[in-house]
Structure 1
Amino acid sequence: MRYCGVVGLQGYLQLAVLEEVRTPEPPIRLSALFFEPGSSAQLAAELRTLGDVVVAFGTPVSLAPDGHSRRCDELLAERGVTPEPPLAEALRLHLLLNGAAPFTPEASGEQGTVPEGAYRDFPVFETSPDGVFCSLQGRRVPSRRHPVGMQMRIDELLSGHVIDDGGELWHRRTEELDAVACALCAHRYAVGHASWLGDPGGSVIVLPGSSLPDRFSRHGVLPPVERLQLPPVADS
């Protein structure tokens, strides 16, 4: 089984793939492969060669009804995570994967736990890269443009036993880190350690963890630093 993550990158798609590496001693490590950005057709061709896969889209695989927003996006925003915009290439990729039905829970309410074995019937699902990192941290994560934000993202991947076989995670583009975070969520989804939020009759977003908070806290996210005040001057 291979666990795949897909995100957008300047009109193209970024693919990352994880595979379990089992040794006599725990923990199970996850070997990561990263691909050059490509089109939906290129990713579909590659995914077909990988055998059994679970694919996590880090961008919507469905569109909101006209004039409305998707409930899963609203619930994600309420938790402090900005939803990802839909991308035409990602929507095309989903169609090229024979329109595989994304994960839809047989449940009521607006959030719950992904049942064990769900990946067998639903090998495709939607997630959120920032939502994945927030779920792993249990709190908000600073933006990618902040050095602490990048450090926290990489630390979470390393603590999840992700191994970069082609280099160092510190040398990767932000989109590659987002894609492998989605792949890590695909692994958690497959082993039954994930939760969903949204409308079971419509679209849902899957995030790692057995439960999700009502809101990801911002407390203590950034360490305090000193900033000196400039002297006051008269307006010119």
Structure 2
Amino acid sequence: MGRHAIADAPRIASTAVRYCGVDISAKPANQQLVTLHERRGVDGTELVATFYAPGAVADVAQTILSFGGEAVVAIDAPSGPRLNLLAPGQPLRATLGLADGRYETMRVCDTLLFRRRLPLYPVPAADTALTRWQGWMQQGFDLFAALDALERFTPDASQGHRLEGPVGDGALRFGRVAATYPDAVFCALLGHRPPAKRTPSGLQQRIAALKLKRVVDDDGGLWQRTIDELDATAAAYAAYALAAGTGGWVGDPREGVIVLPIARLADRYDKLPVPARQSLVRGRGSRPQGEQPR
């Protein structure tokens, strides 16, 4: 899809920039789009979330392009295949101080996150066919291709060959579409790894992170939303941070980078300690913990 596609798409009447997040699904008709736009609230600027019905890549792309070029997009998927930049013998291995046998089949961006305890799914090499379980990645590749008119974000090459850094002011000069990773977005915002997102405490912490960034849902609140919708909202916030110049990126620009909502990541993200629990007073006839009845 060429640059003329923006002009060709029907424009949705709006003067606000749309910060778009897309959660990618293996099911072709289940791609989840959420957008954020700024609104002046009583206590300052709010980011109002708009949730769309799940749909196909073509429909999501057409909706984003209908904003007339006023969109910034973060997609929860790799932007392209692995280029084997960390294969045995490659110079980047020494740059990153990688031990032999480690991270040899990973992208640079994935390695930089994995070392911080932010694991991702492995991405196949350019000359390797996707397996069945990796089919969702093809949906992501297709969406990046469909949004080519907005250009993929590639960090400023004039700053030298770096592997991570802040996006900086004016980042949209270098592209308006980026890859992101919602799990890492939430970790970056919280400063630690939250519990699994399908647990009550995991959901609570993720929603709290979005609310602290003044994300609001006028239609019932974020507790009414699905996990996919919350992940797409986190991606949309990464797009907002890219546009605002407050985000950061990791990876090798030749292979694709991942954009996250803070300028610099911590060295690692661990889970919080398990909450303390007091021991019960042992009653008469009770068995020591772990002892099985005879």
Query: Offset of 1:208 from its aligned partner?
Result: 1.0
TM-score normalised according to structure 1 size? 0.90
Query: Offset of 1:230 from its aligned partner?
Result: 5.0
**Alpha-carbon contact 1:56-1:124 (below 8 Å) kept:** yes
**Alpha-carbon contact 2:242-2:261 (below 8 Å) kept:** yes
| Shift in alpha-carbon separation, 1:233–1:175, aligned structure 2, 3 A | same
Look up the match of 1:63: 81
Look up the match of 2:276: 224
- Residues of 2 paired with 1:227 and 1:108: CA distance? 55
Look up the match of 1:233: 292
**Alpha-carbon contact 1:55-1:183 (below 8 Å) kept:** yes
- Residues of 2 paired with 1:50 and 1:165: CA distance? 21
- Residues of 1 paired with 2:249 and 2:108: CA distance? 12
% same residue = 37
Query: Offset of 1:74 from its aligned partner?
Result: 1.1
- Residues of 1 paired with 2:290 and 2:192: CA distance? 36
- Residues of 2 paired with 1:139 and 1:97: CA distance? 33
Tell whether 2:95 aligns with 1:75. no
More strand by share: 1
Look up the match of 1:43: 60
User: Cα deviations across residues 42-85 of structure 1 (Å, max 9, x unaligned)?
Assistant: 10111121230000011111111368321101111111112156
- Residues of 2 paired with 1:206 and 1:47: CA distance? 19
- Residues of 1 paired with 2:224 and 2:213: CA distance? 18
Look up the match of 1:138: 191
- Residues of 1 paired with 2:255 and 2:141: CA distance? 16
AA aligned opposite 1:232: E
Look up the match of 1:9: 25
- The 3-state SS of whatever aligns with 2:249 is strand
* Contiguous gaps of at least 5 residues in structure 2: 1-16, 88-104, 123-135, 281-287
- Residues of 2 paired with 1:204 and 1:185: CA distance? 13
* Contiguous gaps of at least 5 residues in structure 1: none
RMSD: 2.3
TM-score normalised according to structure 2 size? 0.73
- Residues of 2 paired with 1:168 and 1:136: CA distance? 20
Q: Greater shift after overlay, 222-231 or 177-186?
A: 222-231
Query: Offset of 1:3 from its aligned partner?
Result: 0.1
Between 1 and 2, higher relative CO (CA 8 Å, sep ≥ 6) is seen in 1
**Alpha-carbon contact 1:58-1:84 (below 8 Å) kept:** no
**Alpha-carbon contact 1:3-1:55 (below 8 Å) kept:** yes
Tell whether 2:174 aligns with 1:121. yes
| Shift in alpha-carbon separation, 1:226–1:198, aligned structure 2, 3 A | farther
- Residues of 2 paired with 1:148 and 1:225: CA distance? 17
Tell whether 2:206 aligns with 1:153. yes
| Shift in alpha-carbon separation, 1:204–1:227, aligned structure 2, 3 A | farther
